[in-house]
Amino acid sequence: MNKRSTFLSYGKQSIDEADIEAVVETLRSPFLTQGPKVEEFEQSVADYIGAKYAVAFSNGTAALHGACYAAGIGAGDEVITTPITFAATSNAVLYCGGTPVFADIDSQTYNIDPEEIKKNITSKTKAIIPVDFTGQPVNLDEIMTIAEEHKLIVIEDGAHSFGASYKGRKVGSQAHMTMFSFHPVKPITTAEGGVITTNSEEYYEKLKLFRSHGISKTPYAEELGDWYYEMTDLGFNYRMTDMQAALGLSQMKKIDKFINSRREIAEMYNDALDQFSGVIIPKQLDETKSGWHLYMIQLDQTVLKKTRKEIFNEMRTCNIGVHVHYIPVYWHPYYQQLGYGKQICKVAENWYQGALTLPIFPDMEKSDVNDVIEILKNILLK
Ligand SMILES: *Cc1c(COP(=O)(O)O)cnc(C)c1O
């Protein structure tokens, strides 16, 4: 096999007729933006996760912004996070005037290393934002212990890990707040959309205020008149629409099916690529059950004759939509302008040089997976 006849993207949504029906039905209802479907979707997410509250947002980035606000992050506060993430994670800290501090990753799981978190704690540290990179949950028990010791707030970025489990429990109820994204490539989609799950009533109230201009009905509205509302803080318009929530509710019915097909694909890759010279497959810890948002291999540059760029380009030429997640965040020009250096997290930077994302999404056929494996092996051997 030399080349696929059609391009295979690294990830994409799975939409069926029931999803389409659900959205159309909402279009015919009295509510287009936040209404009964949003509440129903929030309840569905909270029940699935096993968290007390879920607050929906217009997208995952807005949800992270809300979580940073609820955590009280402001000027002078430091927030420890990983450099191997999408820029939105640390951008949310910047939105609030805080300072992201990048801690290095574990070389085998690619998730933030708790020991590195400890090294970066100062008197200014306010919160930690660990990311369940590729869908494999972080070692949350260890991170929560560090947080308790130093009175820090943990906001888990679970953009990749909706439906994944840590020590037998679904991600989303164990950190102080957890963010999930419903962008089309993520575990389920609402087109754009995100949510924060939490067990704290205080955060729950703050999140709701923040996503709607900082405006709320006051308890004494009855006395003053039914039109009365108050703006008590500077919020945003970060509301999810009922159309998005209707799509989300329909997608929720399929979440376990989606995760299972992702797991099957990951197993096929694992079986085919484990022991294959020049390829390191992603290590999974016993206590985690990944949602496999991404399947990432590490190309062993000490063994391979080709560079990552050559392999990437050849795969693309063969119509395999490989990708690289992610460029270390602080390498971006914006962060460089803020004064971040180039060699902050050596393990992460070294890992990045050999990282390659292979396609994985629920509707991917077994034959597609075999195409990827065959073409990759061919390219590596030639
Ligand atoms: C997708 C993603 C986000 C942002 O979510 P959006 O819904 O696209 O705004 C944040 N963090 C990570 C790790 C992501 O992958």
Query: Ligand 1 centroid to 105 CA: how many Å?
Result: 19
Residue 178 CA to ligand 1 center (angstroms) comes to 12
CATH number of 17-252: 3.40.640.10
Check pocket membership of 155 for ligand 1, CB cut-off 6 A.
no
Ligand 1 nearest atom to the CA of residue 62, by list position: 9
CA 60 to ligand 1 center in whole angstroms: 5
Cα(59) to ligand 1 centroid in Å equals 8
The pLDDT of residue 1: 55
User: What does the buried/exposed string (b/e) look like for 274-312 if buried means 16 or more CB atoms within 10 Å of the residue's CB?
Assistant: eeeebbbbbebbeebbbbbbbbbbbbeeeebebebeebb
> CB of 244 closer than 6 A to ligand 1?
no
Q: So where are the chain's domains?
A: 17-252, 255-381
Write out pLDDT tens, residues 253-306. Answer: 999 999 999 999 999 999 999 999 999 999 999 999 999 999 999 999 899 999
Please identify, by atom number, the ligand 1 atom nearest to the C-alpha of residue 193.
7
Angstrom CA distances, 361 to 256, 364, 369, stand at 13, 6, 10
Structure tokens at 302: 């000490």
Strand order in the sheet with 355-358: 279-280, 295-299, 355-358
CA 109 → CA 68, 293, 297, distances in Å?
Answer: 26, 14, 11
Q: CA 240, CA 352: separation in Å to the nearest integer?
A: 34
d(CA 314, CA 301): 16
pLDDT recorded at residue 225: 81
Distance 196 CA to ligand 1 centre (A): 12
Provide the CATH number for the domain formed by 255-381 in this structure. Answer: 3.90.1150.10
Looking at ligand 1, which atom is closest to the CA of residue 183? 7
The low-confidence residues of the chain, meaning pLDDT below 70, are 1, 221
Of 86, 211, 294, best ligand 1 pocket probe by most atoms within 8 Å of the beta carbon: 86
Helix, strand, or coil (residue 72): coil
Q: What is the pLDDT of residue 217?
A: 80
Cα–Cα distance for residue pair 337/339, rounded to 1 Å:
5
Full-model pTM = 0.97
